[in-house]
Structure 1
Amino acid sequence: MARFTYHCALRWSDMDAFGHVNNARFLTLYEEARVELMFKGAREAGLTSLEAGVVISRHEVDYLRPVDYGRPVRIDMWLEEIRPSRFVVAYELFDDDVVASRARSVCVPFDLSAGRPRRLSEAERAYLTPWLERP
């Protein structure tokens, strides 16, 4: 199984009143990692169609411990499932090499001009498959 790793700097605005990363900001950090994989990584592989539209139909987040403002965090990502019209991205966010959060996002390829979901292309499936974790 291959995992995509993204190192993400924390911003002052990520903090809450208690000096921890705000729970809502975890989704922003996960989004940054997902964009790195689906847009930048895909573009480097010659694929730009994922940039044309992918929407989130579901997020699940487990907060395991607070993350203090400071050093960058590491996010490991992989795919749990690839279906014809959706895929599931799983994440682990590490703070100081300790898992601080786990999450999942159900991603749906979307035709923005038509305003409706679409199926993954063969090229998209081929790009995403190396990140698939098989049980």
Structure 2
Amino acid sequence: MAFGRKKQEKPKSILGYALFRLDQVLNVQLAGMIRELKLKKRINLKAAAARGDSAVLILDGILEDISRDNFKTDYRSDKIRDSIITMCKSLKNFLSQLINQSGRTTGSGNIYDSIDIQSVDEVFKTRELLKKKLKDIESDYV
């Protein structure tokens, strides 16, 4: 009998799905790059900019999906939506700093002085707070 990994299903609620996509960006696409920047290692700026570009496109899609025009919701979910929007915007600012830095230098570079890694730490802290709020509204994705 083979033991397989449990497949995680996509959430059915719009806010849960937006948070699912944001987690995919943070934990899959950008995890290695963020870890290297926190450890102040040298990174390949071209590869980091390419990852950043694709992550910005996904974040733009998330912001469009949960905008006030496209998604109407109640008060508690509205607060969660605002938290997700601020997380996406701070992550986009971080990625735009990274992309702009890669345009200035070519090859590998030591750029941790000019990039604000604290904004990414705040995104992770906000994500932990959102877990509690999502449990309160009984979301299908926590």
Would the TM-score normalized by the shorter structure come out above 0.5? no
Question: Would you tell me which structure has more helix in proportion to its own residues?
Answer: 2
What TM-score, normalized to structure 1? Answer: 0.26
Q: 1 or 2, which has the higher strand percentage?
A: 1
Work out which structure has the larger RCO, using CA pairs closer than 8 Å and 6 or more positions apart in sequence: 2
User: Could you tell me the TM-score, scaled by structure 2's length?
Assistant: 0.25
